[in-house]
Chain A
């Protein structure tokens, strides 16, 4: 009831903090002395502890608290960072993540973390820290269930403060259920029902979730705000059966605050043989809730102000916007046809506004690829250790943004490619030394924009791909014939490793080698409208290069005419357009080519490729050519005329026609007609 509304925020923020801790732990491993990192981890753990305690997740709060202690020790040079310690820290982190996820799934966040806790305690070293830790992290299972046992947070104090001004009274209500009460949860529910009719429950000890699960003995306490008088409340609660005793007393904030002060001083004295330095962090801890929250908040406001939006809403927005675009196109068409001045003006303005709208909506769906990249360092570290490889990973361009749907799908293929690189690419330390390389291998993950595409390159300085082995295996498995193999370029041979049923790993390891992964990777990437290419040099390394469209469903295209038919060529592949005089067309190897600024460009006659029906042969002196590129290669597509540039909504041709040569999809033009979108990659050889 109280805390339920904060649950979503709690989960989101916890995940963020846990992610921060995870990243920083990795940094810490590399730079054990770096104080800045330690401070950050301490802060994140501290905030986590505060949040989980407020929400009543005692196991989580307890564990986070232990973590916090360890970091406190590290902060003040009491504890040194080493590899085995990092392992324990990661274990603790895993437990915390599991608990948060449990909560996210509707659970209670409970977990047996005894082992990890003991390990952490062992790391802490020294009685003093232990004693202090126990004193502070008192979960609400003690017989004393008074409110003082649980600190109030600033929000609650504020409410209690305000209530007085509005003529409400603050009460502390203790309820004891009879020992024979079987359905404690039901009784609690009934009592809360009554309370809510009389006023508002601010806080309960134990927390509401605990009460609902009957995780309490027989007593619970409630902080209550109401206009009704003490006796009345007492009487009404007593009416509930199986309530043994009710005591309602006026709750004073001033008293509470004074109590807290006293407690802080008591705790300071209670800790045995501590050094003054260790004391310092404890005192601030008592008032921790308020400053920590403030700190957390100011750290937040330092970053960009963000708002969480349900993805479904964004998708609906996107769909609606696509429909709007189609109709905008139609309006533009109609206004041209009607030739009405005012209409044209209005439509122009609308086009401008919707153009801005389009940019914003598209960028709303864009998410930095960091979201995907961030989980890799940890995974790579684990993988490297499992396989006895020493790998350093460099990540560049994590801020590169991708459409949300692409981000969702690209994670798995990337994981597989990385595993592949570590398993087959990077050699183990002995092999590397034998080859004269550094013991530590390097893996680079780089993301960058270019044109209307996003590129993700995964490169390693490992063993490279043995193209002879690959070709032999491919021929053996019937993927290609011997003759085909003779004519293949190196890149084409490397591509073979992504065919289904292919694998050169001698032993099928748990990690890779089943020959099923890479072809799935290729298919996934292609289904996103992207492509993947491989380049390699033996003993030097390999690069897997993924190209993805920037936005999934709206692209800029050049509309062209082929006789009576209209086609769209994606702008991202176009270098330039040109109108060539027939004298500028040369013949080379029986192929027609043109010369543009010294470069020889082969011509592709789309009318022929697409079997466009023509009524008569029109011989014009001039030819319209669209010069397109695919990687390093260029070609000139011959069309009849250019219509103009347009934003078009990408529509799939559907499964029935999915494998049509040189056609990647369709779009609906302003006049409602379907125009086909040319797949230039298929035409550039």
Chain B
């Protein structure tokens, strides 16, 4: 499919049965799951840090951030390294393996709540055939000061 200027190229990943998308230019790499060192006294959605090619990189568990149930990591679990305000942060997701172009006209504003993910974290939704892709607003997802809508400590 040819990409027109109206399309957004995104990386699609799975989380708790849903499909989410982040713009390709925000993604550094996709890594396999690895040992995460816990960092005490940080926000509950920060899982810890990993050694990414010699750089100590923080890891965010999106399941915790979105308030979905915790799940055991398996072979398909991935860490997506994204760029956020000149930093690199890893997001733990259930699986990631798609790169697609979303036409602008397929994007709609988000409804109030999608599952349990609060609308503030979402930039919009896109209907692609029978898939519903949730476009994440990385700024809001990673901003530590942003209200934790689910402050329940797991």
Contact = CB atoms under 8 A, between A and B. Distances in A.
B37 interface: yes
Main SS of the interface on chain B? Answer: strand
B12 interface: no
A323 B58 contact: no
Given A565-B38, A610-B40, A673-B37, A657 B58 contact: yes
Contacts of B81: none
Interface centre among B40, B50, B89 (most CB of A within 10 A): B40
A666 B56 contact: yes
Given A660-B41, A674-B50, A651 B56 contact: yes
Contact of A612 (B37, B40, B51, B55): B40
Given A654-B87, A674-B50, A674-B51, A609 B58 contact: no
Contacts of B54: 323, 326, 651, 668
B129 to A, nearest CB: 37
A676 interface: yes
Contact of B41 (A326, A656, A661, A672): A661
A510 interface: no
Contacts of B144: 656
A653 interface: yes
Given A666-B49, A674-B50, A653 B38 contact: no
B46 interface: yes
Contact of B39 (A609, A651, A663): A663
A506 to B, nearest CB: 38
Interface string A312-345: 0000000000010010000000000000000000
A660 B49 CA distance: 13
Contacts of B142: 656
A611 interface: yes
A651 B56 CA distance: 7
Nearest to A323: B54
Contacts of A610: 40-41
Interface in A89-131: none
Interface in A641-684: 651-657, 660-663, 666, 668, 672-676
A653 B87 contact: no
B92 to A, nearest CB: 15
Contacts of A613: 38
B46 A657 contact: yes
A657 B39 contact: yes
A663 B142 CA distance: 21
Given A654-B87, A655-B87, A674 B40 contact: no
Interface centre among A657, A668, A673, A676 (most CB of B within 10 A): A657
A610 B51 CA distance: 20
Given A655-B87, A657-B46, A675 B37 contact: yes
B37 A674 contact: yes
Contact of B57 (A612, A654, A661, A672): A654
B127 to A, nearest CB: 34
Given A653-B49, A656-B87, A674-B49, A663 B58 contact: no
Interface in B18-49: 35, 37-42, 46, 48-49
Contacts of B48: 674
Given A673-B35, A674-B50, A657 B42 contact: yes
Nearest to A671: B35
B153 to A, nearest CB: 11
A673 B58 contact: no
B37 A660 contact: no
Nearest to A562: B40
B37 A666 contact: yes
Given A565-B37, A662-B41, A673-B51, 6 more contacts: A326-B54, A609-B40, A610-B41, A660-B39, A672-B35, A676-B39
Q: What 3 A-B pairs come out closest when comparing CB atoms?
A: A610-B40, A674-B37, A666-B56
